[in-house]
Amino acid sequence: MSPRSILGETKSKSVSASSIFHGLQRERCPSGTVPIRRITREDLVNVKFFAKKVEPIMQTSVSAEEVILGKKYFGGSASMSIHNLTVDPDQFSTSQIWIVNSTRDEMNGIQFGIMKNPSVVGGNFPRLFGFWIVTNGHQVAGCYNMACQEYGQRSYDVHIRVYRAQGNGHWWLRMGATAEMSEDVGYWPNEIFTLLRSSASVVRYGGIVGSMSQASTPPMGNGFLPQLQDSDTTAYMKLMKYVNEAGASVDLDSYSVRTMNGTVPQCYNIMFAGQIGGDWRNTIVYGGPGGYCN
């Protein structure tokens, strides 16, 4: 089976982290295919139920982006740490990348990364997710892809990349333990977009949390406020890059990166570490315990 469209629920194999990142090196799928798992009836019920829900009553985000007026982007990527947070059934928490193009009256977006959302995907582990949306001021179209890999280890890296194919313009999702080991797992067809048919105007890195109730908001990242001294005790995204028109992954201009925090810093925060060097390059640390953040 070749990688398929991610308009709805992409099928992917339910495996532990060790088999994703080590077992596949020993027993790889045939060329041109990706590992899949059968989508259960419960998966489909959960996704359809989520699609009918209203927006979360409480939602906030922290993010970082390169701010260069008029620059065009053709994708983005990063290696992010993954943490198995404790999240209530009516809450969700993501570590993600946004790819956006917008005008005054219209917005196209792709969001992708790792999500913990018990009411939607069930299970005890965070999962890969993708989401596309098109708004024109009057109508909204979009879909979550939720029936994806479960991640069984408490914390490790995964490299995730979305890029626009030069031929047909489809937006492809790639993932793996590293950039070199990553594989295409599916795509969003170019035809579902308007503004993103050509390029994006923003690539953003960070996290979102939300709650369907007016109670406290869930943790983000690894559940602790970020700090720059020890990568083992903070959530991070490293190797933050964008994709240029030629299809190459390029380091962000660290002098043009700006951070944004949608809430009080006692609940969540984000810091841009800049060019660290080695296999880290441009890096953000982010997250927090959540709580009563108004």
Could you report the per-residue pLDDT of 39-95, keeping only the tens digit for each? 444 444 444 444 444 455 678 999 999 999 999 999 999 999 999 999 998 899 999
- Please name which of 80, 73, 47 lies closest in space to residue 182, comparing C-alpha atoms: 80
Give the model's confidence band at 145: pLDDT under 50 very low, under 70 low, under 90 confident, else very high: low
Angle at 43 between CA 20 and CA 149, to 5 degrees: 10
Comparison of pLDDT for 10 and 272, the residue scoring more = 272
pLDDT at 24: 27
pLDDT at 10: 33
- Looking at every residue in the chain, the average pLDDT score rounds to 79
pLDDT at 59: 83
pLDDT at 234: 92
pLDDT at 229: 82
Would you say domain 4-287 falls under CATH 1.10.8?
Answer: no
pLDDT at 33: 34
pLDDT at 212: 83
| Cα 37 to the center of its chain, rounded Å | 21
Tell me: the pLDDT tens digits for 247-258?
Answer: 999 999 999 999
pLDDT at 144: 61
Contact by Cβ (8 Å): 259, 62: yes
Q: What average pLDDT score do residues 138-146 get?
A: 63
pLDDT at 99: 97
pLDDT-wise least confident of 3-17, 34-48, 163-177, 190-204: 3-17
Q: What is the residue extent of each domain of the chain?
A: 4-287
Residues 6+ apart with CB under 8 A from 198: 72, 101, 169
Tell me: the pLDDT tens digits for 150-185?
Answer: 444 434 679 999 999 999 999 999 998 889 988 888
pLDDT at 169: 95
The Cβ of residue 212 has, within 10 Å, a number of other Cβ atoms equal to 18
Q: What average pLDDT score do residues 108-117 get?
A: 91
Question: How many Cα neighbours within 13 Å face the side chain of 17?
Answer: 17
Which stretches of the chain are assigned E, i.e. beta strand? 4-5, 58-66, 75-83, 91-102, 107-116, 127-135, 140-145, 155-164, 171-176, 183-188, 202-211, 235-243, 249-251, 257-261, 269-275, 282-287
The pTM assigned to this predicted structure is 0.80
Contact by Cβ (8 Å): 141, 133: yes
- Please name which of 79, 78, 74, 138 lies closest in space to residue 100, comparing C-alpha atoms: 74
Q: How far apart are CA 68 and CA 77, in angstroms?
A: 18
Beta-bridge partner residues of 282: 275
DSSP SS3 for 145: strand
DSSP SS3 for 58: strand
